């Protein structure tokens, strides 16, 4: 059998001498004498002017094969539909699967989109149908604890707070932890980093029910929540403030102490403050704290512990660099730290 030249070159040479204007494939640039037979029929309003897709059959097959290599057959077919504004449907795909036509699979598919049932549909219909059939996304709902409604009658929680932070983990989460370990447990409540707040209600429940709970490091910067916690559980567990700017007040109100990042830099100051508060010398404690507010503000002007690590370097206690995603101190924060430390004669 003699070699048959490829259809494209056949067409090219044949068309050159015939009809004008020519039909060009927008991908390969080949000129054809007519659309029919060389470009698939399209009923998409995108191609209303010609009634055909602007890619020749060969190009469509090539593009499809490229997608098949990357995406597999079915997804390749859907992607082609998206590109060509054809209706994508699982049922047409199933028909292609079943048929044994001589056309390539993609041309087989395109042919079936032109049967009467699908003729007016485009990829917009696909998107509409997929959106209509999509499973609604359920927000996870924490189960309501027995007796929780009563507890909430005691101190009403501002709905705006719950809306913002969510209700937090449910009691079972902590109770399970309590059963699995045999070590003292300290709650670390830091919602601005974890996006989950432990409410005073939850803490009160856990204080009653957990075997291993010994205290909380409270970093929610709401004084109202902290005070509520101290009032309800402060005599049973160790309430420790984790917020520099609230801790003197909270210790005066009954917090047992504080867990302070800045205590790395000025441990003696915090020991003194704690001692003064225990001796009911609250004003002296406040005055002493007042001297260090600019340093502490500088420390937290960027994400802790970047500025703190810089400060530790300055006092000769190098603590290494920050680990990603935390970033090292900026020049501005470093300058502010250094100035504050100089004024306090820490360096
Ligand atoms: Zn082409």
Q: With bands split at pLDDT 50, 70 and 90, how would you rate the model's confidence at 5?
A: very low
Between 173 and 113, the higher pLDDT residue: 113
Q: How far is the CA of 37 from the centre of ligand 1 (A)?
A: 13
Distances in whole angstroms, Cα of residue 338 to Cα of each of 196, 329, 334, 344: 34, 12, 6, 10
- If you search the block for the tokens 């704690």, which residue do you land on? 274
Ligand 1 centroid, distance to 333 Cα (angstroms): 60
Mean pLDDT over 210-222 rounds to: 93
Tell me what percent of the residues of the chain surpass a pLDDT of 70: 83
Average pLDDT of span 317-343:
92
Provide the pLDDT confidence category of residue 146 given band limits of 50, 70 and 90.
Answer: low
Mean pLDDT over 75-90 rounds to 94
The Å distance, Cα 110 to ligand 1 centre, comes to 16
For the beta carbon of residue 53, count every other beta carbon within 10 angstroms: 24
When pLDDT is averaged across residues 119-129 and rounded to a whole number, the result is: 91
Which of 22-36, 110-124, 128-142 is least confident?
Answer: 128-142
Q: Measured in angstroms, how far is the CA atom of residue 25 from the centroid of ligand 1?
A: 5
Provide the pLDDT for residue 99.
81
Please, what's the largest Cα pairwise distance for the chain?
109
Does pLDDT of 297 surpass 70?
Answer: yes
Measure Cα distances from 86 to 43, 230, 251 in Å.
9, 65, 69
Per residue, what are the HEC states of the chain?
Answer: CCCCCCHHHHHHHHHHCCCCCCEECCCCCCEECCCCCCCCECCCHHHCCCCECCCCHHHHHHHHHHHHHHHCHHHHHHHHHHHHCCCCCHHHHHHHHHCCCCCCHHHHHHHHHCCCCCCCCCHHHHHHHHHHHCCCCCCCCCCCCCCHHHHHHHCCCCHHHHHHHCCCCCHHHHHHHHHHCCCCEEEEECHHHHCCCCCHHHHHHHHHHCCCEEEEEECCCCHHHHHHHHHHHCCCCEEEECCHHHHHHHHHCCCCEECCHHHHCCHHHHHHHHHHHHCCCHHHHHHHHHCCHHHHHHHCCCCCCHHHHHHHHHCCCCCCCCCCCCCCCCHHHHHHHHHHHHHCCCC
Cα–chain-centroid distance for residue 87?
Answer: 33
User: Can you give the pLDDT at residue 133?
Assistant: 81
CB under 8 Å to 110, separation ≥6 — which residues? 40, 41, 53, 60, 84, 86
Q: Compute the distance from residue 241 Cα to the ligand 1 centre, in Å.
A: 71
Share of the chain above pLDDT 90, in %: 61
Residues serving a catalytic function are 188, 217
Q: What is d(CA 336, CA 295) in angstroms, rounded to the nearest whole number?
A: 8
Q: How far is CA 140 from CA 73, 192, 259, in A?
A: 35, 20, 33
Those residues with Cβ within 8 angstroms of residue 73's Cβ, 6 or more apart along the chain or in another chain: 105
C-alpha 60 to ligand 1 mean position (Å): 7
Give mean pLDDT, residues 129-136. Answer: 77
Average pLDDT over residues 92-103: 82
Could you give the CA distance from residue 52 to residue 229 in angstroms, rounded to a whole number? 72
What are residue 214's phi and psi, to 5 degrees?
-115, -15
Which residues neighbour 249 within 8 Å (Cβ) at sequence distance 6 or greater?
223
Q: Which tokens hold the place of 243?
A: 């917020």
State in Å: Cα 31 to ligand 1 middle.
9
- Per-domain boundaries in the chain: 23-130, 159-259
Mean pLDDT of all residues belonging to the chain: 86
Instruction: For residue 101, report the distance from its CA to the centre of ligand 1, in Å.
Output: 22
pLDDT of residue 135: 65
pLDDT band at 60; cut points 50, 70, 90? very high
Query: What is the distance in A from the centroid of ligand 1 to the CA of 108?
Result: 18
Averaged over 222-238, what is the pLDDT?
95
CA of 248 to the centre of ligand 1 (A): 77
Superfamily for domain range 159-259 = Aldolase class I (3.20.20.70)
């Amino acid at each position: 059998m003699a070699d048959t030249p490829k259809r494209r070159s056949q067409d090219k040479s044949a068309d050159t001498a015939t009809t004008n204007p020519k039909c060009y494939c927008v991908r390969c640039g080949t000129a054809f004498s007519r659309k029919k037979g060389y470009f698939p029929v399209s009923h998409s309003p995108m191609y209303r002017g010609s009634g055909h897709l602007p890619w020749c059959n060969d190009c469509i097959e090539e593009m499809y094969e490229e997608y098949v290599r990357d995406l597999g057959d079915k997804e390749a077919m859907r992607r082609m539909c998206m590109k060509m504004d054809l209706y994508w449907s699982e049922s047409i795909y199933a028909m292609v699967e079943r048929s044994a036509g001589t056309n390539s699979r993609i041309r087989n598919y395109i042919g079936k989109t032109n049967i009467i049932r699908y003729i007016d549909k485009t990829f917009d219909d696909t998107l509409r149908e997929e959106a209509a059939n999509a499973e609604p996304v359920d927000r996870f709902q924490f189960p309501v604890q027995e007796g929780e409604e009563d507890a909430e009658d005691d101190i009403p929680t501002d709905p705006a707070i719950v809306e913002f932070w969510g209700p937090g983990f449910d009691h079972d989460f902590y109770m399970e932890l309590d059963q699995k370990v045999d070590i003292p447990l300290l709650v670390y409540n830091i919602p601005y980093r974890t996006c989950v707040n432990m409410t005073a209600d939850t803490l009160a429940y856990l204080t009653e029910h957990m075997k291993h709970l010994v205290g909380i490091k409270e970093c929610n910067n709401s004084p109202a929540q902290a005070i509520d916690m101290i009032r309800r559980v402060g005599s049973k567990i160790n309430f420790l403030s984790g917020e520099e700017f609230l801790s003197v007040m909270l210790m005066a109100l009954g917090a047992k102490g504080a867990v302070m990042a800045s205590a790395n830099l000025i441990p003696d100051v915090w020991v003194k403050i704690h001692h003064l508060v225990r001796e009911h010398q609250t004003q002296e404690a406040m005055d002493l704290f007042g001297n260090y507010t600019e340093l502490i503000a500088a420390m937290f002007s960027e994400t802790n512990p970047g500025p703190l690590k810089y400060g530790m370097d300055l006092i000769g206690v190098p603590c290494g660099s920050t680990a990603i995603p935390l970033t090292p101190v900026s020049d501005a924060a470093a300058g502010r730290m250094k100035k504050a430390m100089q004024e306090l004669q820490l360096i």
